Structure 1
Amino acid sequence: MASVDSPTVFVVAADPARAATLAHALPLVTVVPVTDAETLLREAHVTPPDVALLYTDTPGVPLWQVLPMLRQRAELGGTRWLAVGTQGLGEMLSAGADALISDSTPTAALVLQVRTLLGRAAQHRDMQGRVTSLQRRMDSWEHEERVRDQLVHMLVHDLKNPIAAVMGLLEIVYEDHRVPEDNRELIKVARDETQHLLHLAVNMLDVRKIQAGKMNLKRELVFSPMFEEILEQARGDVGSGLRDRHVRSEVEHDLSPASADPEILRRVLANLISNAMKHTTTGGVITLMVRSVTGGVQVIVRDDGEGIPADDIPNLFAAFEQSRLTLHGRFDTGMGLAFCKLAIEEHGGTIWVESERGKGATFYFNLPLAVDGEDDDFIEILN
């Protein structure tokens, strides 16, 4: 006797002996006799079969007329349809039958064909189960991503204002000459760490935006004077820590204009300068350069710090994979460099680093030049 979970085969034929013969040959299969097309339409909706044998000599509505309707039902997507007969097989094939066989075929051959179709139906069920499982996991992942994005957005926006307020207050206290010198040093450390915390929060939000494709660049033509201005703004964003370093800037004159979002470019440079500062000691040298290269503009941020271990370089631009070896012992999430990579690639550029242990590190990124249309628009504005 077939089990509850056994496969089901419909035998659509006027002669019930055909179903009985198949049931005897397939003891582990539930064989259901169906007398006509109308019954097939009704029963298939209630109990979708794994395989259905459609005898072409079944009286009443021709089975080739109802087969297209059956194949459109979602619940019958895994059913395999076997047309059995000597006439009308062409119509059955055109209607969507999966296989054809003569009604004079020996029972053993018919059983073998049914077993083959049952195997295909089982494979379909297994695949559908996997698809359903993957869809559930995808839905769960998408839900988690939405929750994570909302949480990051909420945290960053809720943190930015109080962090900025703390920074402002620390700056006021630091500039007050009544504060003893030893306390001023502590205030300076607190201010720099607060600045670092603000950078971490903002970078976290921006990395999520770029990964989600939600950061829309506001491209402009960036000429030499604007590069000089962006470098100066980025230095100011880094904070007072640069007062203890020697920062040198060099922008090539008469650069062909790059196509970039100035605000995002400023953020990238602030992150790279901040990274250079973390890897240099007091009195260290940080060099900023902007120069033309074939097909674009290249920006360089070089420091003379301790350098980056070779093992850390391949994953340096991945979030949470930044080199932990810094002169200041500060744990970093790596979000800053991850943001730099995503932002430059969003511009259509490239970014990389060259470093030798003990000899500093040099970060490079290339930006594409403005296309001809952008240049024409700028000329029209000037005119």
Structure 2
Amino acid sequence: MASVDSPVVFVVSRDRSRASLLAPALPFAEVIYISDAETLLREAHVRPPQVALLYTDTPGVPLAQVLPLLRQRAELAGTHWLAVGTQGLGALLVAGADALISDTTPVDAIATQVKTMLGRAQQYHDTQERVAQLQRRMDTWEHEERIRDQLVHMLVHDLKNPIAAVMGLLEVVEDDTRVPDDSRDLIKVARDETQHLLHLAVNMLDVRKIQAGKMNLRRELMFSPMFLEVIELSRGDVGSGLRDRHVRVEVEPGLSPASADPEILRRVMANLISNAMKHTTTGGVITMIVRQGKEDVQFLIRDDGEGIPADDIPNLFAAFEQSRLTLHGRFDTGMGLAFCKLAIEEHGGTIFVESERGKGATFTFTLPLAQDGDDEDFAELLN
């Protein structure tokens, strides 16, 4: 006997016995007799069927006129419509019937066809349920992402000003001649760590901005002298720890211009230099090279540190990831390299790393060469 949750099958016909004969062949379903099109419209709204048998000899309004209206109802999207008869099947097929069968077909064969349709209806229902579950998960995820974005934005903006104020005060104290040398060294460390904290906060905000497509690049045509200037500024951003390393800068003269945001490029360089510094010891060598490629300008930041384990490289540019092999215990969110990757790709370039344990690492990124449309004065600059 069918239960309350059993699938529903409508038999729309002038002959009630057709429903009575079909019901025993479908004991797991609730077979409901419908006498005409008007009743079908009303009952389909109250209890949508999984399968409806539409007999062409049903009196009253032709079912071919009613079926297009029924197929437009959202609650009947999973219903399968089986046209049954000897005449008028073509009209029902045009109106949207899913299958045709003769009314002289044995009841068992009709039941088999209905079972097949019920299986398809169940598959549709299951698919819709999975889609609904995924949509609920997506809504939850989007809600959490919005909260996370708001939290990061609020946190960074609330931290930037006091961190910058602390850095300024530390610089004033460091320059005071009354401060003993041993205390001055401690102040330098405090200033460097404060600067590192500021970089962490800003990187977190910028990674979220780029991921959300909210970072607008302020591109300029950049040549060799500008690349050299950006490198010098980024070295200053890294902090005093760089003084204990040997830094070499090689910028190829006469480079073809690239279109880039100088401030973002400065941040990328600072992150990569800082990364090289934390993987080298005092006296280590950090080399920065800018050279001409076939269709781009190439930037290489090379260090002679301990290198990066091969297992760490695939996830190195992901947020909250960093190499397990570092020469200091400083906490790092991994946002610096994540920012570099997103920022360079936003410029249309690529970034990758090559490393061998014990032989240092080389980070390489590229910037595409400027095109004619990148700047109104591009042609004049080249002439």
State the TM-score bracket (shorter-chain normalisation).
over 0.9
Give the TM-score normalised by the residue count of structure 2. Answer: 0.96
Greater mean alpha carbon deviation, residues 212-221 or residues 3-12: 212-221
Q: Match for residue 232 of structure 1?
A: 232
1:7 corresponds to: 7
Q: Deviations over 1:197-235 (max 9, x none)?
A: 111111111111112222222222111111111111111
1:324/1:331 contact within 8 Å kept:
no
The 1:96–1:74 alpha-carbon spacing in structure 2 relative to 1, beyond 3 Å, is same
Aligned residue for 2:277, secondary structure, equals: helix
Question: Within 5 Å, which residues of 2 pair with 1:305-344?
Answer: 305-344=305-344
| 2:243 counterpart residue number | 243
1:379 deviates by: 4.0
CA 1:186 to 1:324, structure 2 compared with 1: closer, same or farther past 3 Å? farther
Alignment root-mean-square deviation, CA: 1.6
Shift of 1:119: 0.7
Percent identity of the aligned residues? 80
1:252 aligned residue: 252
Identify the residue that residue 360 of structure 2 maps to in structure 1: 360
Give matches, 1:8-87, under 5 Å. Answer: 8-87=8-87
Instruction: Indicate the residue corresponding to 1:274 in structure 2.
Output: 274
Amino acid at match of 1:225: P
Is the CA contact (8 Å cut-off) linking 2:372 and 2:379 kept in structure 1?
Answer: no
Any idea what the Cα deviations from partners look like across 1:34-87, whole Å, max 9, x if unmatched? 110011011101110011010000011000110000000000000000101000
Contact (CA 8 Å) 1:324, 1:332: kept in 2 or not? no
**3-state secondary structure, aligned to 1:323:** coil
Could you tell me which amino acid in structure 2 is paired with residue 80 of structure 1?
Answer: H
What is the SS of the residue equivalent to 1:225? Answer: helix
Shift, 1:10, TM fit: 0.7
Question: Is 1:91 aligned to 2:91, yes or no?
Answer: yes
Unaligned runs of 5+ in 2: none
Which 4+ stretches in 1 moved above 6 angstroms?
none
Report the AA paired with residue 299 of structure 1: F
Q: Name the SS of the counterpart of 1:4 in structure 2.
A: coil
Cα distance, 1:306 vs structure 2: 2.2
Look up the SS of the partner of 1:299 in the other structure.
strand
1:115-264 alignment runs, 5 A limit: 115-264=115-264
- 2:349 and 2:366 in contact (8 A); partners too: yes
One-letter identity of the residue aligned with 2:357: R
CA shift, 1:286, in A, is 1.7
Q: Match of 2:267, as an amino acid?
A: R
Q: How many residues align?
A: 383
Give 1:148 deviation, angstroms: 0.6
- Cα separation, partners in 2 of 1:375 and 1:256, compared to 1, 3 Å: farther
Instruction: Quote how far apart the aligned CAs of 1:382 are.
Output: 9.5
Q: Deviations over 1:274-307 (max 9, x none)?
A: 1111122223222211110111101111122222
Which whole-Å CA distance do the structure 1 matches of 2:323 and 2:331 have between them? 9
The corresponding residue for 1:104 is 104
Pairwise CA distance, 1:380: 4.7
Kept in 2: contact 1:297–1:366 (CA 8 A): yes
Contact 2:83 2:92 in 1 (8 A): yes
Which TM-score applies when normalising by structure 1?
A: 0.96
Q: Shift of residue 159 of structure 1?
A: 0.6
